[in-house]
């Protein structure tokens, strides 16, 4: 029909907008993402995410806090993540990062303990201007109603698991 759109023809279409302010020791930003028709064959669905962050360079360390809110396709439960991260330059070539975040409504249900806490520590050593090696350790602790995993590995509801990773990063 004239002026109509085929059902789910915009499957996965997304629109995003972000604003960043960085001046001197201050860092702040806001981001928004809207994804249309995230499920084929379903009614016109949308998922939204909003990220707000701010940071300050103390000289001996940078501290960054952030808040992320995401609405699921059904819009019934809202995932929210609150986090804090510190970046400490140990030397000109070595940086250590540590962070902790708490996610609420991970499973998107109304479960009373649908939360997860993630803690991570990362070290990055510069080999050259564009190449570095890194090591990362992460621990995820789920509430009784959450099943957040690490890198595609499932963790049972109420479970805790850790992972380590190491690698080489090169900027092209």
Between CA 153 and CA 122 the distance in angstroms is 20
How far is residue 139 CA from its own chain's centroid?
15
pLDDT of residue 122: 98
pLDDT of residue 161: 84
- Residue 168 in tokens: 């080489």
Q: What is the pLDDT of residues 68-104, one digit of tens each?
A: 998 866 555 678 899 999 999 999 999 999 999 998 8
pLDDT of residue 111: 52
């Amino acid at each position: 029909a004239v002026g109509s759109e085929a059902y789910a023809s915009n499957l996965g279409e997304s629109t995003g907008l972000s604003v960043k302010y960085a001046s001197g020791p201050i860092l702040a930003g806001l981001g928004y993402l809207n994804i249309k028709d995230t499920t084929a064959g379903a009614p016109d669905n949308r998922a939204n995410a909003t990220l707000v962050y701010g940071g300050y360079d103390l000289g001996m360390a940078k501290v960054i806090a952030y808040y992320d809110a995401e609405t699921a396709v059904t819009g019934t439960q809202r995932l929210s993540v609150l986090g804090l991260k510190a970046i400490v330059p140990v030397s000109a070539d070595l940086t250590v990062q540590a962070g902790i975040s708490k996610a609420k409504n991970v499973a998107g249900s109304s479960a009373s303990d649908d939360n997860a806490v993630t803690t991570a520590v990362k070290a990055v050593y510069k080999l050259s201007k564009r190449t570095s090696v890194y090591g990362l350790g992460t621990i995820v602790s789920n509430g009784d109603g959450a099943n957040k995993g690490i890198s595609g590995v499932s963790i049972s509801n109420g479970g805790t698991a850790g992972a380590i990773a190491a690698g080489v990063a090169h900027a092209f």
